[in-house]
Amino acid sequence: MIGPGLRKSSFELCGRLAYNLRVSGPFAQAINATTRYCAVYGYPIKHSASPAMQNAGIAELGLNWRYLAFEVHPNELREAIAGAKAMNYIGLNLTVPHKLLAVDIVDEKHKSAASWGAVNTIRFEGKDPSGEWRPLREFPDSPREVRSHGFNTDADAITRALREDLGVEPAGKRVLLLGAGGAGRTAGLKMASENVAELFLVNRTQAKAEQLAAEISERYPNARVKTDYPKTNVDLVLNATSLGLKSTDLLPFDESRFSLRQTAAVYDMIYRPAETSLLKAAKSAGCHTANGLGMLLYQGARALEIWTGQAAPLVAMRSALEQNVYG
């Protein structure tokens, strides 16, 4: 039998829990019926630092929003995007392996998504009475028609990280790019689009380097691309291989064919560990260095700007990211 006393204490318990959630989390407001949602989909997803970073940004902006993470199998990506759209989510981020698949799923592609052939950010948009598509944040009630609009914020994050974290402006520079996988392809195309003076492409599987060089030359006919190590000095070495993730990994280049004394700066797209053996060796050789955390930050910051229409609070987001990744 549940007496009034018991009812009161469980009521107090719920109140205490809500209070604790309110004061212990970074959010000014507890979740309620007007809370709006964003999420990241990946497969796997447990490693993702995006919820920590984005929720810190959301809290700093004082929004009654939350950013969630879901493990979505690639076979169910279409349904998962449709589900978020049906529930008036503000937007989504997509990570491995969904970025290429989503290009054919979104209702509308922003030029960034079309240009890089990948979608890492979706903004849901509603049709207003005049027939214009506007971000869902502007609709307090569900609009009759909603569409998914796909963007890519990864490519611009590479150049922003080079500029802001390493002080390197790619235009007119000689760049050695290591790796021709997914990250290497985006980096190579982005470097060519930024008018680097010369791009040297090196990859374990030479055929993939050749294929990327051909794609770059087709899209940027004026680009000077070689699939070999540079014989003289370069301004920047960009590591887009996965070598360095493990502490036992060798350097991602052939030391008999290239020396770190030939470059002024080294950017490693890897951010965990914070200092790869490449970055350690580069520091010893006197190079300027930066790791890939900035890329993660800037792609997320741009996504938040696309959803909110406001400048992303970079300091809060960077600090949450560092706390999440490095403890």
**Residues at the interface with ligand ATR (CB under 6 A):** 179-184, 203-205, 208, 240-243
3-state secondary structure of 111: helix
The answer to whether the bond into 135 is cis (omega within 30° of 0) is no
Partnered with residue 149 across adjacent β-strands are 108, 123
* Minimum CB–partner distance for residue 174 and ligand ATR (Å): 20
Task: Give whichever of 147 and 226 is closer to ligand ATR, judged by the CB atom.
Answer: 226
Q: What is the dihedral of CA 149, 309, 302, 212, to 10 degrees?
A: 40
Catalytic residue among 46, 85, 99, 109: 99
Task: Give whichever of 115 and 242 is closer to ligand ATR, judged by the CB atom.
Answer: 242
Task: Give whichever of 166 and 180 is closer to ligand ATR, judged by the CB atom.
Answer: 180
Task: Give whichever of 161 and 243 is closer to ligand ATR, judged by the CB atom.
Answer: 243
Task: Give whichever of 244 and 313 is closer to ligand ATR, judged by the CB atom.
Answer: 244
Is residue 236 within 8 A of residue 258, CB to CB? The reply is no
Q: 215: alpha, beta or left, given left = phi > 0 and alpha = psi -120 to 50?
A: alpha
Cα 327 to Cα 54, 113, 231, 273, distances in angstroms? 17, 33, 41, 12
Partnered with residue 93 across adjacent β-strands are 40, 121
User: What is the DSSP code (8-state) at residue 250?
Assistant: P
Tokens of 204: 């374990």
| Backbone dihedral angles phi then psi of residue 173, each to the nearest 5 degrees | -100, 155
CA distance 236 to 167: 11
DSSP letters for 199-229: EEEE-SSHHHHHHHHHHHHHH-TT--EESS-
* Minimum CB–partner distance for residue 15 and ligand ATR (Å): 47
Rg (CA), the chain: 23
Task: Give whichever of 242 and 262 is closer to ligand ATR, judged by the CB atom.
Answer: 242
* Minimum CB–partner distance for residue 56 and ligand ATR (Å): 25
* Minimum CB–partner distance for residue 154 and ligand ATR (Å): 10
Catalytic site includes residue 127: no
Q: How many CB atoms sit inside 10 A of residue 9's CB? A: 10
* Minimum CB–partner distance for residue 272 and ligand ATR (Å): 13
* Minimum CB–partner distance for residue 135 and ligand ATR (Å): 29
Which residue numbers are catalytic?
Answer: 99
